A = this chain, B = another copy of it.
Amino acid sequence: MRLSRAFQPTLKETPAEAQIASHRLMLRAGLVRQTSAGIYAWLPMGLRVLRNIGQIVREEQDKIGAQEVLMPTIQSADLWRRSGRYDAYGPEMLRIRDRHDRDMLYGPTNEEMITDLFGSAVKSYKELPQSLYHIQWKFRDEVRPRFGVMRGREFLMKDAYSFDSSYEAAVASYQRMMLGYLRTFQRLGVRAVPMVADTGPIGGDLSHEFLVLAPTGESGVFFDAALEEQDWLGETVDLDSHESLARFFGRVTESYAATDEKHDADAWAGVPDARKREGRGIEVGHIFYFGTKYTESMGIAVSGADGTQFHPHMGSYGIGVSRLAGAIIEASHDEAGIIWPDSVAPYRAAILNLKPGDEATDALCERLYASEPENLLYDDRAERAGVKFNDADLMGHPWQLIVGPRGAKVGLVELKRRATGERFELSVDEALARIRSA
């Protein structure tokens, strides 16, 4: 994309309403614009980030055998009356009456709908396990929406639901999802540490939240460094073996990790000092086993091996996709702007033409741009070099390909790595090879 033609409105001033870095930077870099309280439009560069995040989430869900569906945003209140949650849900639920005076709602989550969908399609234990997910907009009518996309009212979420024939099989589904989540966050370029969370009335320890480490996080976190050093992508786990899954799960949960709410000073004392990590975290995912709560209340059963009907065991698993755009920035920015991890960056690199109109400079920039126009942002604007440096740092492209008349004359490009500030003087081919190998 040529920046001169892009719909990419950057702001020079910091918007007054933005209290945290990600909100400020997303507005200033032109990633999103607020359209109503807690509701945002995603501008081209923001949408590219949102889609990159969604695609990584999707690929890792597919790899653990979850199947993607797409449920609608508008649900019938009757569905929620069957589970008993319609009256129990607070004012965060956006309640709607349609033209025929039927009670509807904008889905804040989809346990009821997926359970009903599952029940209408699956009749036998032979068809289990099933894991279904979708990536869809949700609405929660927060009383005070703030922090930009981190706590918006309309937000994009991946929610998955598993159906199993027994508690043991449900545990395996839960462990598969744990692996998928750890891999997802690692690929997104952030470290998200799983912490035991409250399970509510069901009890047990099958609930974890995933927190991205960032100084502005809402919770204090204490954890063993082992959890951020592990390479989950290199972890070999047999997804069909309960033993293999249990071994993996044991390795995850044997290391100490807790939010301040659940912090246990005695257990913490047992962690060697060199491996103690303290900080703050932003919740970006939550996995949860809840047994037969919905299949029972909604009367959904399948036939077992002996012919009798039983209620499948369920779990639900959420990742805040739009929230992650903000959380990644909270975890990865500096004074000058955003520092995108390569995997989610809107563009692989920006080309900075320091002297538009200079023949050699223009020619070299065009040559770079032509190599991969869909993945490069070409700053061809008639602006001063300083403006271009600032905007590129603000937008956070992982690499900058800086082209001035002196270098252009001899075919050289200055390549800057945004994260480290390192600079390299390279030929066109060397520079392109370098950014492609990242």
Contacts and interface: CB of A to CB of B under 8 A. Distances in A.
Contacts of A411: none
A72 B7 contact: no
B41 A69 contact: yes
Given A36-B74, A74-B154, A7 B67 contact: yes
Interface in A80-102: 91-92, 94, 96, 98-99, 102
Question: How many A residues touch the partner, as a band?
Answer: 35 or more
Given A68-B44, A98-B94, A39 B154 contact: no
Most B CB atoms within 10 A — which of A7, A65, A104? A7
Interface in A101-129: 102, 104, 106, 113, 116-117, 120-122
A70 B98 contact: no
Given A67-B7, A99-B91, A72 B117 contact: no
B154 A72 contact: yes
A343 interface: no
Given A94-B98, A120-B33, A137 B41 contact: no
Contacts of A143: 99
Contacts of A65: 5
A387 interface: no
A216 interface: no
A1 B1 CA distance: 36
A147 interface: no
A104 to B, nearest CB: 7
Contacts of A106: 74, 96, 106
B69 A35 contact: no
A73 interface: yes
A433 B88 CA distance: 57
A47 interface: yes
Contacts of A98: 94, 141
Nearest to A10: B121
Given A36-B74, A36-B104, A120-B33, A113 B9 contact: no
A290 interface: no
A389 interface: no
A132 B7 contact: yes
Interface of A: 1, 5-7, 9, 30, 33, 35-36, 39-44, 47, 50, 65, 67-76, 79, 91-92, 94, 96, 98-99, 102, 104, 106, 113, 116-117, 120-122, 130, 132, 137, 139, 141, 143, 153-154
Given A73-B154, A92-B99, A137-B137, 4 more contacts: A1-B67, A6-B67, A42-B71, A96-B96
